[in-house]
Structure formats: structure tokens, C-alpha cells
Amino acid sequence: MSAHPHAAHDPNLDQGTRAGFNQRLRDRLYIADLRARPRTLPNRLLLVLALVGPGLLVMLGDNDAGGVLTYAQTGAAYGLGIFLPMMLVLGFVAYIVQEMTIRLGAVTRRGHAELIWKRYGPFWGLFSLVDLVLANILTLVTEFIGIRVGGLAFGISYVVTVPLTLAFVVATL
């Protein structure tokens, strides 16, 4: 796979890959346009949001109800003495794992699960799949527990908040 910016016109690339290249080119042009604008405060804020925004969205994606409760419990038990070192170590580990998975996908053009299945066989492929599904189900359970507690904090019964949230989630699928 070529990293050349004109690779979007390579006939050997599938439509999804071509669309990804085109999106990256549009993003780069947008950033270049923002950098070329006069250096006013609104323009600088737009540039910062364009550069930092996607990373902020990814960071916010992991701060769910279960995570916040775990952070609070850890802070109450150990203070900042364990939080700061763990934040540095786990942030580095998460970055390495995600970047390695992205590189594997970019080079092989196969998903992480497919690579596990082919390299380690059906047992570990199925194990990875079941583990992922179970982790996602448990994460959803903690989300709904957080929604219930949040509703109760505002005096709204969980009989109202949980079904409404479930209906919203199902409607957006």
C-alpha cells in the first residue's frame, strides 16, 4: 500500500481504501486552509479543535459510568500516588496496542479478529470473539447502571430513564 497522496487514484485499491485516502486528503487541505487564515482568536480555536478534536472524542469514549466509578474508588483508596503512574503506563500501553492493531490492518488489509483466527486457529479466534462480546455487554450494563443512578440523582425514576435510554439506543442503531 502506497503512502503517496495520489494513491487515491490507484486502480488496485478497493473503494473503501480509496474513500479513506480521499478523506485524509480533504482533512489535510482543511488543516492547511485553517493554518493559512489570519491569526485571529476564532481561527486559532478552529485550528486547535480540528487538530485535537478527534483525540478528545477517543478519550471521552472510555470515560463511561463504570470507568468514572473505578477512577473515584481508586482515588479514594490510594490517592494520586497510584493514579499518575498508572495513567502514564496504561496510556502508553493502550497507544501501543491500538497503533499495532492499526498497522496490522493497514499492512494485511484484514481485521484483527480475522488475523487471530488465521494465525492461532478457531479456538483462540472464538475465545477472542466471545471475550469481546462479553466485555461489550458488561460495558452496556454499567452504562445503564450509570444512567439509572444519574436519573435518580435528578429525582427521575429509573422506570422512566432506563426504558427511554434503551429506546433511544435501539432507535439510533
Three-state DSSP string of 97-136: HHHHHHHHHHHHCCCHHHHHHHHHCHHHHHHHHHHHHHHH
- Model pTM score: 0.53
Q: What is the pLDDT of residues 87-141, one digit of tens each?
A: 788 778 888 888 888 888 888 888 888 888 888 999 999 999 999 899 889 888 8
**Cell output for 16:** 473503501
What sign does the dihedral 119-2-102-132 (CA atoms) show? negative
Residue in this structure with the C-alpha cell 426504558, named with its chain if needed: 163
- Rounded Cα distance between 14 and 117, Å, is 23
Q: What is the pLDDT of residues 42-70, one digit of tens each?
A: 888 888 877 776 666 655 666 777 777 77
